[in-house]
Amino acid sequence: MAPGKRGRLSAAVMVVCAVCAATVLAIPGGALAAPAPDPSPSGPPASVTVPDPVADAAPATDAELEAVRTRLEELYHDAAVATDAYNAAEELADQQSAEIVALAKRIVQGEEKLAELKERAGAAARAQYRTGGLPPEAQLILSDDPRQFLDGAGRILQGERATDKTLAELQQTQDDLELYAKDAAAGWDELEANRKAKDTARGEIEKQISAAEKLESQLAKEEKERLAELERQAAARAQTAWVDTGILDELPGGTASAEGRRAVAWAKAQLGKPYEWGAEGPDTFDCSGLTSEAWAAAGTPIPRTSQEQWRQLPRVDLAEMRPGDLIIYNSDASHVAMYVGDGAMVHSPRPGRTVTIAGAGSMPILGVVRPGG
């Protein structure tokens, strides 16, 4: 590579590193159920112009392209972390919206009941006014008819009980309405907090993907092809190292459940569809969108995000993995795939890629979870 272009490509890698090191995913505390990854150093991103490639310069060396590959891997990993945060915030916001709607219905019903109880209490007061303001007991005592006295005794007792019940219901309904109103206000505040969390995560995702795209734009077509080959070689090395541990000799064969087989078949039917962050199909998917929809299609709903899938679903030993199980990748559970057997998995890798089958050991495995038991 000519010195001019080598300098520009190296500068581009350094610039993108500096820009992305200055970003941080700022999700409000307690807003998400998913475990938060360790934050990056905070600070405002610098305004940087990435140099244009020099068309007549010599191609990049393998070492330079390997540095680009490593940096792209980091950028897309950070985008995946932000995507999980976005999905978690979106799921929680949807739940909170449903709770607010339910509370609103309760408030309407409570107000209708309160109006009815007030009408009943008012009717009793008007009846007392029409009888001269004397309570029923006094009217009974003043009666000259003993039979009327005896017959009315039971009605007095029933009336007193009904009045007491009406007053108690009136008070309880008023208390319930006050509680519903407080819950609705708190729910609205939480909903707004999670909407802000979604906006923050969205900005982080777009920033990381933009940085990756700028870095890739520095490469000529031939260099992009060599970069893709380096990516394949890195995945192959990782898969070979994983297989060389003898893990495939330990894995049981043909033991997938009926649900697991349906989930695998559904996931494979999505091969070739593009990755899109936050997408759950039918035309595009992110990694956890693919796995959650596959298991939903098999009749077993599971959590939406890879981090929640790791946190909530039953874990199984790697040596017991069977088709349909979900493989969680990276120490922060930022990626998920579905095991399909024979040492392979199906997943939606990252922006710019499509749903594909790859080696199950081609990325660092955190663990395995099993939907459906």
pLDDT per residue over 41-96, tens digit each? 444 444 444 444 444 456 778 788 888 888 888 888 888 888 888 888 888 777 77
CA atoms of 211 and 121, how far apart (whole Å): 69
347 given a catalytic annotation = yes
**Model-level pTM?**
0.62
Q: Residue 259 above 90 pLDDT?
A: yes
Of 177, 211, 244, which closes a domain?
Answer: 244
Of 204, 220, 244, which closes a domain?
Answer: 244
Of 192, 212, 244, which closes a domain?
Answer: 244
Q: Which domain holds residue 92?
A: 1-244
Whether residue 171 is found in the same domain as residue 236: yes
20 given a catalytic annotation = no
Question: pLDDT tens digits, residue range 286-313?
Answer: 999 999 999 999 999 999 999 999 999 9
pLDDT winner (highest mean) among 49-53, 160-164, 335-339: 335-339
27-31, 174-178, 294-298: least confidently modelled range:
27-31
Whether residue 1 is found in the same domain as residue 64: yes
17 given a catalytic annotation = no
Q: What angle do CA 335, 69, 231 make, to 5 degrees?
A: 70
Whether residue 206 is found in the same domain as residue 285: no
Question: Average per-residue pLDDT in the chain?
Answer: 77
Whether residue 338 is found in the same domain as residue 298: yes
Q: Could you write out the three-class secondary structure of 25-71?
A: CCCCCCCCCCCCCCCCCCCCCCCCCCCCCCCCCCCCCHHHHHHHHHH
- pLDDT value of position 140: 52
Q: Please tell me the total count of domains within the chain.
A: 2
**Residue 319 sits in a domain of what CATH number?**
3.90.1720.10
- pLDDT value of position 12: 45
Whether residue 259 is found in the same domain as residue 124: no
Residue among 87, 31, 277, 86 at smallest CA distance from 200? 86
Whether residue 152 is found in the same domain as residue 213: yes
